[in-house]
Amino acid sequence: MSGAAWAVVVGAALLLVLGAVLWGSRTAALDRRVGSFACALADGPAGPWSRGVAQYGATRLYWWRRASLLPRPARVWTRAGIAVLEREVLAADGVPTGVVVARCRVTAERHGTAGEVHLRMSSEAYAGFTSWIEATPSRVGTVI
């Protein structure tokens, strides 16, 4: 192999290592955030499912794709714009798996358009999710 070919191979290897380090760092940072939980997302009940991490904010729910290097969330919904329409506890051979799929009506923050998404999470995360939604202040920005 010539010197130029070695340089290309070494450069490609360094880019792969750098990408892996950045992805690992991003994933670790998302998992350590306060209010974050594993949450898969699908636009329909049949999928396809995208693995991700969701995080509660004061007034928004942020969702990041697991397989991404982008520093910003892929989806953002306001707390007041989320409504759980139904939930299903998944079971294998009649035994609950501890995984819940919630069908939610959401209003996209950027566009203001309403739609439905399916969120798959652990039953513990679902309990926190519904508590967070129910704790919505009725009048944000006012002093009582």
Question: Each residue of 61-118: pLDDT tens digit?
Answer: 999 888 776 778 889 998 888 999 999 998 888 777 889 999 999 987 666 677 899 9
Q: Is residue 76 part of a domain?
A: yes
Q: Which of these, 80, 86, 69, 99, lies nearest to 141 by C-alpha position?
A: 80
Name the pTM for this structure: 0.73
> Residue 52 sits in which domain range?
33-134
Give how far Cα 143 sits from Cα of 58, 60, 69, 140, Å.
Answer: 17, 21, 40, 9
Cβ neighbours of residue 19 under 8 Å, at least 6 residues apart? 69
Q: Is residue 80 part of a domain?
A: yes
Q: Is residue 11 part of a domain?
A: no
Q: Can you tell me the distance from the alpha carbon of 66 to that of 48, in angstroms, rounded to the nearest whole number?
A: 14
Q: Is residue 140 part of a domain?
A: no
Q: Is residue 27 part of a domain?
A: no
Length of the chain: 144
- Tell me how many domains the chain contains: 1
Q: For the domain that residue 110 is a member of, what is the CATH number?
A: 2.30.29.30
Confidence grade of residue 144 (pLDDT, cut at 50, 70, 90): very low
Q: Can you tell me the distance from the alpha carbon of 41 to that of 45, in angstroms, rounded to the nearest whole number?
A: 10
Q: Is residue 125 part of a domain?
A: yes
Q: Which residues pair with 90 in a beta bridge?
A: none
